Structure 1
Amino acid sequence: MSADEQSSQSTIQSVGAELAAIRQAQNMSVNDVAYRLKLTPRQITAIEQDDFASLGPIFSRGFVRNYARLLQLDPQPFLDAMQAAPVNPVEALAIHDEQIALTGSLSRHWLKLSLLALLIVIALPLAVYQWLRADDAPKAASPAHNAAPLASPPAPKIAPAPAAPAVEPPTPAQPAPPVSVAVPPTAPPVSIAVPPTAPATQAEGSGHIQINFKQDAWVQITDASKRRLTSRIYRAGETAQLTGEAPFRAIIGNAANVSMTYNGKPVTLTPRPGTTVAHLTIE
């Protein structure tokens, strides 16, 4: 090592103070240096205060080297002075403690997130199961509820016909002149009016359609379940009897020569303008 280098190294008592003094001599601010070195002002202040522990030993040497070159100085004496400076064990221990505290905080944070995710995984399937059970309960009770109206009423009891009164034969008379005996006429047969069997109760929502045709006409009718009740051409004089679940959708061709009733009530068939076809919904 030359005498000049020994002299330069011996005069550098504080790397940060030396760099700060030369910076001020060149009329540069901390922000100017931070901008040109792509660092933050806090990092430049740490260098000038010899706080290399907060920057890390490897990064701080690179920062000092670039700082010295920015000031057009030889960086080697500054690096040698940094190497010769003693390391403060208290600061190193403090940095180590901060790292441990940071790690513990992150661990607690991830533990909370893990517990929250576990609760969601358990609660979500239970909620879906309860929702599906509640949705299926009304469907299971529906068939029993709907089957009651379809039961046929009991057949009416027919009272037996009263027996015809017995006619006692006349007592034979003593021999006498022939006498004409008036025998009452035989009782006419008793006519028992049997009431007609009560028709089955009409299912709720069902209806009866009757169509009479004065001329040939095409008809298509579907019920509420989209079941096609008829789709054909009827001839003049025919009558169609249809039963299904309302509402009905009907298309009637040659509507002017067709008459319709729904549950005994007449239905108006109005063709669309410019056509002979009527489209209607029967409820």
Structure 2
Amino acid sequence: MKPTEQTPTIIHSAAELGNELRLQREKKNLSIGEVSERLKLPARQIEALESGQYENLPEPVFVRGFLRSYGRFLDLDENVLDRALEHINPPAAGTKHTHLGHHTDLNFSNTKRKKPFPTWILGLLAIGAIGYGVYAWQNKSNKDNAEQEANNSILTNVIASNPAASALNNSNVIVKPMTASDTQTETASAPPTSGNPLLQTGVAGELAINTRYRTMLTVTNANGEILINQIVPARSEHRFKDGAPFEVRLGYASGSTATFSGEEIDVQAARKGGKTAVFTAGGTTTQ
């Protein structure tokens, strides 16, 4: 006579299934860590499956997959496992799920939780905007300085390639540092000529140049002789005589002034929209 097959245990709740999994694990002398390593699941998820607490686990479909994998790993009876999963299947939204008069105690929500927008992203964006503003400001300042130096370097290279550049005639050059009283304000781009003692006097046939900023200055006389070709300091005066007309090039002419025979030359108009001014002083015309 064949022995009667044992009826599979009926498990009605998540807690009952978890307890059954725990018992089977202990029978096999396995630790939670060993199960975690074999199933490639975090130990906290194994503990949640054994306690029937699913709140912090993924979506229900994944929980069912975890339970089935764990049950098969412990050689849990397939019929017991299938019936247990049927009993703890999460109910559809707005309905109650019952089986054999028992209500499910599955304790995770079937609704998706909305995650709040991480505020730290706004902080990063604000820091990035401030950093970009500082970078743009510094880049503009460095670009202006680089343009000035580039203009000066180009002039130096061009003149240096000319054999006449090695014989500069500086006998007509007078460099006189300007005092603080010679300008009314640091921020003025072109100080007024009235009240500037350097522009109130003039000698016939003499060219006087007053620089506002450090710049490359090149002056050539009517014979093609280069009288000066060098970077001159800010707020300095340079006078040239006996050689008109003079060809003048100021690498960074902003705020600089010039006179010929005491008559003011419009240096800013000679810039023609750029930072470099090129003009002729003396002769028949003064540009």
With normalisation by structure 1, the TM-score equals: 0.41
With normalisation by structure 2, the TM-score equals: 0.41
Q: Which has the higher contact order (CA 8 A, sep 6+)?
A: 2
Q: Which has the larger share of helix?
A: 1
